[in-house]
RNA sequence: GCGUGCGUAGCUCAACUGGAUAGAGCACCUGACUACGGAUCAGGAGGUUGAGGGUUCGAAUCCUUCCGCGCGUGCCA
């Protein structure tokens, strides 16, 4: 017997109803039975309900209520739920189920283990998760928030579900833009300036100016031709284009030097790499995202594989030449996937193909999931299509790996447009975090004036990160969402701080209990007494943890676990209000409630940990 | 144009993937032994789920036609 069957009442009910359905409707293919046991939305419909009768009735051509009655007649829920009769059949054939108090207590008791009822899969899978994906010489900005936070959460969800997870950060460390910055640094060195203590901020400036220098003027030129301008301005512009062309030429030859392993170029590149990654990984750490150096898989690491892949696709007639470029056509997609430019250069599609190959063949991924902006949907459709066509998705056992684009929407500002910094540019991620921390600090100081600064600092940091991450994770990821400090940092309502507050109250109860000499340790073995509706509601909320976690991990949807966490915190708050724990003369009830508090706290903490949200003891 | 996604309370979002009377949070109104942390709890008001049609016992969810918005769209990543 596995843990799942014991701790999750819905799993227990699933078994009993399956048996009843087989007996009640023998003509129905047992392998197609879906018992459809769900938690009831309203208490008056019981604790759980079975919605299977309607669907089965349709397929076997019977009346739904007739099927429901047959199921009930063949049903044995002894030891789990109150006896179920025809009176429990409602509407078109819903079967309402109310758990026995002792069964509820037993389930809770079984869940109360270090594993917290999460089943360990018989055959763990390997899930490769594409996360973060920063670019050299560029600061992390809002655009990286979601790929980092969501990607890490998806990784954690699958780790918690018992799978092997391999994070891969596809670092943009290759190509012309980087060569431009390398060239810039070398020019500086040649003019006698030291670049030893260069910062990422400075690199970022170089990156932008190099970009503009090499192509910005061309667009300006086009605009002038199109809309007309003073001849002098035009002449000046053309002069600058000559400059730009020269710069572009230098950058391209620098790229060649870099790619062919020129020592000096590589050394400068390495410095840029180190400077960028040191700062970005620090930001990841600050975000409580488990993304470290070992997860970095830069585009440069694929450079020696690209030629082989392209040759392979050509020799197998998967790729074809078209207008000088090399393309692969994928069924159902109009736009072909370009894997080599007319000038012989490779594109990011080529690199991504190499990445898929590595992730399936070398990293042995059963699933390769990409936490990447939804605007890249077409790109991934193409690349996945090419990979399948070429068989790069085939695992060693010959079956196909599951390629998933876990797409997410854009972060918007209050004006409904993509989020910008106050000055209008792209907002640097660390600045955003700083502002959230400042605000959290002020709030904590206001609510809790006695707390010393030294204690408040780290707490404000955790509260701010929790607020930002919860806001990001709790929405359905595919949708755009509005980034609003006031809303996410509000200590009321469906926010990160509210969840932390629930934990703080639990911690506080135990602090107080221990101070007054109550045997909290002993209470951890106390029998659960769940007589008050609020106690029962809290128990039912806790018991939903295993199912919710599995559903969220399988669907790569962290927002489901967020909803669970909020529901749990909210159920706890109601319980806290109605069921005194310490101000309670009944020793048995007190012990039960202490244990319930402890379990609720551990489950909530575990859920938040699985989302990558930091927690605190006080706030 | 084609492709793709979205449209739910005044605002921000859910809806266990086709289930019962569409739920939360802000904001608004009314309450709660001076509170085991009130950063809370209980209640009220707030809806033709963009519009029409279809599928069925049952639709916010699936199909279809419109409307509106976003995004992508052959040699950037």
ipTM of predicted complex: 0.96
- For residues A321-341, give the mean pLDDT: 94
A233 has pLDDT over 70: no
Fill in the DSSP letter of residue A88: G
A557 has pLDDT over 80: yes
- For residues A554-581, give the mean pLDDT: 96
Pick from A600, A575, A603, A537: nearest CA to A39:
A537
> Between these two residues, A248 and A128, which has the higher pLDDT value?
A128
Confidence of residue A248 (pLDDT cuts 50, 70, 90): confident
In a domain, A318, yes or no: yes
Count of alpha carbons within 13 angstroms of residue A172, beta-carbon side: 19
In a domain, A135, yes or no: yes
SS3 content of chain A, % helix, strand, coil (to 5): 60, 10, 30
In this complex, the nucleotide whose C1' atom is nearest to the CA atom of residue A133 is: B77
Long-range contacts formed by A255-262: CB under 8 A, 24+ apart: A255/A175, A255/A176, A255/A179, A258/A178, A258/A179, A258/A182, A259/A303
Is the domain of A300 the same as that of A405? Answer: yes
Is the domain of A180 the same as that of A285? Answer: yes
Give the pLDDT confidence score for residue A214 in this predicted structure.
66
- Measure CA to C1' and name the residue nearest B2: A334
Integer angstrom CA distances of residue A480 from A159, A229, A560:
27, 40, 17
CATH number assigned to the domain comprising residue A89: 3.30.1360.70
Give the SS3 label for residue A96. Answer: strand
Asked if the Cβ of residue A61 lies within 7 A of any atom of strand B, the reply is: no
In a domain, A435, yes or no: no
pLDDT in tens, A499-518: 999 999 999 999 999 999 99
Is the domain of A279 the same as that of A374? Answer: no
Confidence of residue A533 (pLDDT cuts 50, 70, 90): very high
Give the pLDDT confidence score for residue A235 in this predicted structure.
64
Asked if the Cβ of residue A211 lies within 7 A of any atom of strand B, the reply is: no
- For residues A81-87, give the mean pLDDT: 94
Is the domain of A401 the same as that of A324? Answer: yes
Domain that holds residue A208: 176-289
- Measure CA to C1' and name the residue nearest B6: A479
Is the domain of A87 the same as that of A153? Answer: no
Is the domain of A164 the same as that of A180? Answer: no
Give distance CA A107 / C1' B8 (Å): 36
Give the pLDDT confidence score for residue A492 in this predicted structure.
85
Strands A319-322 and A164-169, bridge-based pairing: unpaired
Is the domain of A163 the same as that of A254? Answer: no
Is the domain of A355 the same as that of A258? Answer: no
In this complex, the nucleotide whose C1' atom is nearest to the CA atom of residue A343 is: B75
Q: What is the dihedral of CA A97, A102, A104, A110, to 10 degrees?
A: -140
A67 has pLDDT over 90: yes
In this complex, the nucleotide whose C1' atom is nearest to the CA atom of residue A175 is: B77
Is the domain of A167 the same as that of A299? Answer: yes
Asked if the Cβ of residue A59 lies within 7 A of any atom of strand B, the reply is: no
Give the pLDDT confidence score for residue A414 in this predicted structure.
82
Give the pLDDT confidence score for residue A221 in this predicted structure.
54
In a domain, A537, yes or no: no
- For residues A162-166, give the mean pLDDT: 98
> Between these two residues, A32 and A97, which has the higher pLDDT value?
A97
Query: How many structural domains is chain A composed of?
Result: 3
Asked if the Cβ of residue A36 lies within 7 A of any atom of strand B, the reply is: yes
Give the pLDDT confidence score for residue A58 in this predicted structure.
86
- For residues A488-495, give the mean pLDDT: 89
Least confident window among A35-44, A206-215, A282-291? A206-215
A218 has pLDDT over 80: no
Give the pLDDT confidence score for residue A3 in this predicted structure.
41
Task: Pick the last residue of a domain from A289, A318, A338.
Answer: A289
A169 has pLDDT over 50: yes
pLDDT in tens, A364-393: 999 999 999 999 999 999 999 999 999 999
Confidence of residue A234 (pLDDT cuts 50, 70, 90): low
Asked if the Cβ of residue A323 lies within 7 A of any atom of strand B, the reply is: yes
Task: Pick the last residue of a domain from A270, A289, A308.
Answer: A289
In a domain, A459, yes or no: no
Protein CB footprint (7 Å) on chain B nucleotides: 2-6, 12-17, 19-21, 23-27, 33, 36-42, 56-58, 70-77
- For residues A424-429, give the mean pLDDT: 85
CATH number assigned to the domain comprising residue A141: 3.40.50.620
Which residues of A spanning 470-489 put their CB closer than 7 angstroms to strand B? Answer: 474-476, 478-482, 487
Task: Pick the last residue of a domain from A411, A438, A468.
Answer: A411
Give distance CA A366 / C1' B4 (Å): 27
In a domain, A347, yes or no: yes
Partners of residue A257 on adjacent β-strands = none
In a domain, A112, yes or no: no
Distance between CA A252 and CA A59 in Å, rounded? 66
In a domain, A610, yes or no: no
Can you say how many angstroms the Cα of residue A295 is from the centroid of all Cα atoms in its chain? 16
């Amino acid at each position: 017997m596995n843990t799942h069957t014991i701790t999750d009442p819905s799993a227990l009910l699933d078994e009993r109803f399956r048996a009843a359905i087989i007996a009640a409707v023998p003509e129905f293919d047992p392998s197609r039975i879906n018992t459809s046991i769900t938690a009831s939305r309203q208490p008056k419909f019981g604790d759980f309900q079975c919605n299977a009768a309607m669907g089965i009735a349709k397929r076997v051509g019977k009346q739904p209520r007739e099927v429901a009655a047959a199921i009930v007649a063949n049903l044995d829920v002894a030891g789990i739920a109150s006896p179920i009769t025809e009176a429990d059949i409602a509407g078109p054939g819903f079967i309402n189920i109310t758990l026995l108090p002792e069964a509820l207590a037993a389930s809770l008791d079984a869940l109360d283990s270090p594993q917290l009822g999460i089943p360990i899969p018989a055959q763990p899978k390997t899930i490769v998760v594409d996360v973060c994906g920063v670019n050299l010489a560029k600061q992390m900005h809002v655009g990286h928030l979601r790929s980092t936070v969501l990607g890490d959460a998806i990784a954690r969800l699958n780790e918690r579900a018992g799978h092997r997870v391999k994070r891969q950060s596809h670092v943009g460390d290759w190509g012309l833009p980087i060569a431009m910055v390398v060239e810039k640094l070398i020019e500086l060195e040649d003019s006698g300036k030291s670049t030893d203590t260069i910062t990422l901020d400075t690199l970022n400036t170089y990156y932008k100016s190099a970009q503009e220098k090499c192509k910005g003027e061309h667009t300006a030129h086009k605009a002038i031709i199109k809309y007309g301008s003073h001849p002098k301005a035009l002449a000046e512009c053309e002069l600058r284009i000559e400059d730009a062309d020269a710069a572009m030429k230098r950058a391209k030859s620098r790229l060649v030097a870099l790619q062919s392993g020129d020592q000096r170029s590589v050394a400068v590149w390495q410095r840029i790499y180190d400077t960028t990654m040191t700062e970005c990984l620090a930001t990841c750490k600050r975000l409580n995202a488990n993304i470290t150096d070992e997860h970095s898989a830069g585009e440069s690491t694929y450079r020696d594989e690209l030629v082989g892949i392209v040759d392979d696709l050509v020799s197998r007639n998967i790729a074809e030449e078209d207008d000088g470029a090399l393309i692969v056509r994928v069924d159902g997609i109009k736009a072909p996937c370009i894997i080599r430019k007319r000038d012989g250069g490779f594109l990011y599609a080529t690199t991504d193909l190499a990445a898929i190959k590595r992730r399936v063949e070398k990293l042995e991924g059963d699933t390769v999931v990409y936490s990447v902006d939804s605007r890249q949907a077409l790109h991934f459709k193409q690349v996945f299509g090419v990979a399948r066509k070429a068989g790069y998705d085939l695992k060693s056992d010959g079956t196909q790996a599951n390629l998933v684009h876990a797409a997410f929407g854009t972060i918007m500002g209050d004006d409904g447009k993509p989020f910008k910094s106050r000055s209008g540019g792209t907002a640097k991620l660390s600045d955003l975090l700083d502002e959230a921390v400042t605000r959290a600090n002020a709030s904590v100081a206001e609510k809790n004036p006695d707390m010393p600064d030294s204690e408040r600092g780290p707490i404000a940091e955790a509260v701010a990160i929790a607020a930002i991450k919860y806001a990001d994770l709790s929405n359905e990821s595919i949708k755009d969402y509005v980034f609003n400090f006031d809303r996410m940092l509000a200590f009321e309502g469906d926010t990160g701080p509210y969840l932390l507050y629930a934990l703080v109250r639990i911690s506080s109860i135990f602090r107080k209990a221990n101070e007054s000499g109550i045997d909290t340790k002993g209470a951890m073995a106390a029998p659960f007494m769940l007589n008050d509706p609020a106690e029962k509601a809290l128990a039912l909320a806790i018991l939903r943890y295993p199912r919710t976690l599995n559903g969220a991990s399988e669907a790569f949807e962290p927002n489901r676990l967020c909803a669970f966490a909020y529901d749990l915190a909210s159920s706890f708050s109601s319980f806290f209000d109605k069921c005194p724990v310490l101000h309670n003369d009944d020793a048995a009830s007190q012990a039960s409630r202490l244990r319930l508090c402890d379990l609720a706290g551990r489950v909530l903490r575990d859920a938040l940990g699985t989302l990558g949200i930091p927690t605190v003891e006080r706030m």
